[in-house]
Structure 1
Amino acid sequence: MSTITRNTNHDTIASMYDLKDIERHDIVIECLEKLILNQIPKEAHIFDLGCGTGQIAQRLLKRGYKLTGLDSSEEMLQCARKNVPNAEFILDDARFFKLPPTFHAAISTDVVLNYVLTFEELKNSLQNVYNALLPNGIFAFEIYTEEGCESSWKENSDGGGVRDDNVWVDIWSYDQENKLGRKETTRFQLIDGQWQRSDITFLLKLYSKLEIQAALEKVGFREISIYNLKEDLGVEHSTGETACFVCRK
């Protein structure tokens, strides 16, 4: 494992994250089936970059694939190891990890690459994925794009959720000059009969589709395709903020 910067922000929300968007995980699998799963061997080894609590890995493992997940949050990985004990999970950073050519395919869901805040670091992250793929390996990832998000992010918005032992609120703002989204999350968690509060800040960088394509080309990816979740993949509730990129080594 390389030297990493621990992702303590995501440590704080790991157990909450594990509760969220169960239906969305199934939709992600449906999209992956359309984009890449029909192009790799049935027992292919898949690399999950930013695997979180292992919900996607769990579903792919049930389909017969071999899974290796990587995340920079130890708490996320603790949940993942409980959810998917038969997968391998690595604590490391997308910007710095080094793995030999091992995988038939790589995926990155839930806009993980938006947490990479400079173009150079984005290129480094993509290079690391490229190096970990076998020849002709395929990479699919979901990412917020400048074209899809900038107009909606200019207006402050909020969101959140409620569970029996968890309540959280997300408040968004946008720095247009630096193309940085800022999400302020306040969480109340019931622990040993007492409600405990956590306040966490997340920064997400918007890149244009041309910037992302340029970064992919610079590290050697080819056959680059860009998909709209709603129009191309049939995800009816999609807002159009994210795009799916698919490319080959």
Structure 2
Amino acid sequence: MTSSKQRNTNHDATASIYDLKNTLERHDIALECIDKLILKNIPEGAHIFDLGCGTGQVAQRLLKRGYQVTGLDSSEGMLNIARENAPDAEFILDDARFFKFPSTFHAVISTDGVLNYVLSTEELHNALQNVYDALLENGIFAFELYLEELCESNWKNNEFSGGVKDDNVWVDIWSYDPKNKIGQKDTTRFELKNGNWQRLDKSFYLKLYPQTEIKLALEKVGFTEVNIYDINQDLGVDKDKESETACFVCRKPLRE
């Protein structure tokens, strides 16, 4: 697993196939949810911080709406692609657990379960504190998270998925440690380079947190107006599908 003293660089190995594995429709859905929960409540042209921005697909869509965007990711490979996808955004190489920004942003977003890669309650608290400090007063924080109560039964069943492209073949195999609430994704990738297929094996770890623990952690940091939305039922992503993620929305309060 990732050392708590090191930036998580695991996604460098799979950055070039991230957009192949995740359909562009998923990013449009993320923007639709952000629109419902955040954009109507911040000024036009506001400055938005995309925590765990990946390849910049959501940043690109926000830029087209006229917002300023700063993205942060721990993967240099992801950011290299993000700079191509959203050249007008600012991208920073850092880790959710360690970054330190002054109060700058009207809103912070984090999609695709980025904070599940933070594997301890203490480090999660650090990440939430960093977000709180980076927000302007009355700023909004919205993030998507895989929750223990939504995922545990599904993650206990070893599942796999994969894909085939002209120059890439990959398979993801999932396993779950119920004692420590850790999901493990083992990725095997074959990439065609200079006429030869090269193999890469990489493991990724995600922590499942219960809803109550996340809510308490947010309130402990100082966030108020904490609301929790079911991605499928409340936000209409796919009402016929059982949710695995929830969206938390909260505010940094005004000073009295």
TM-score w.r.t. structure 1 length? Answer: 0.96
Measure how far apart 1:238 and its partner are. Answer: 4.7
Alignment correspondent of 1:182: 184
**Equivalent position amino acid for 2:23 in 1:** D
Alignment partner of 2:249 out of 235, 246, 249: 246
Measure how far apart 1:166 and its partner are. Answer: 1.4
Measure how far apart 1:5 and its partner are. Answer: 2.3
Measure how far apart 1:240 and its partner are. Answer: 0.7
Give the secondary-structure state (helix, strand or coil) at the position aligned to 2:132. helix
CA gap 1:49/1:220 in 2 versus in 1, 3 angstroms = same
Alignment correspondent of 1:115: 117
Alignment partner of 2:31 out of 15, 24, 29: 29
TM-score w.r.t. structure 2 length? Answer: 0.94
Alignment correspondent of 2:221: 219
Task: Give per-residue Cα distances to partners, 1:11-67, cap 9 Å, x unaligned.
Answer: 000000032221100011111111111101110000000001101000100100000
Give the secondary-structure state (helix, strand or coil) at the position aligned to 1:93. coil
8 Å Cα contact 1:224-1:247 kept in structure 2: yes
Identical residues among aligned pairs (%): 70
**Equivalent position amino acid for 1:14 in 2:** A
1:56-71 superposed matches below 5 A: 56-71=58-73
Measure how far apart 1:4 and its partner are. Answer: 6.8
For 2:191 and 2:229, locate their aligned partners in 1 and report how far apart those are by CA, in whole Å: 37
Task: Give per-residue Cα distances to partners, 1:124-171, cap 9 Å, x unaligned.
Answer: 100000000000000100000001000111111111222222111010
1:40-119 superposed matches below 5 A: 40-119=42-121
CA gap 1:101/1:238 in 2 versus in 1, 3 angstroms = farther
For 2:124 and 2:52, locate their aligned partners in 1 and report how far apart those are by CA, in whole Å: 14
Give the secondary-structure state (helix, strand or coil) at the position aligned to 1:18. helix
8 Å Cα contact 1:43-1:66 kept in structure 2: yes
8 Å Cα contact 1:229-1:238 kept in structure 2: no
Corresponding position: 1:232 with 2:213: no
Task: Give per-residue Cα distances to partners, 1:64-96, cap 9 Å, x unaligned.
Answer: 000000001111111111111110000001001
For 2:5 and 2:96, locate their aligned partners in 1 and report how far apart those are by CA, in whole Å: 9
CA gap 1:239/1:198 in 2 versus in 1, 3 angstroms = farther
For 2:203 and 2:159, locate their aligned partners in 1 and report how far apart those are by CA, in whole Å: 15
For 1:23 and 1:192, locate their aligned partners in 2 and report how far apart those are by CA, in whole Å: 32
CA gap 1:238/1:92 in 2 versus in 1, 3 angstroms = farther
**Equivalent position amino acid for 2:18 in 1:** Y
For 2:246 and 2:220, locate their aligned partners in 1 and report how far apart those are by CA, in whole Å: 20
Number of residue-to-residue matches in the alignment = 247
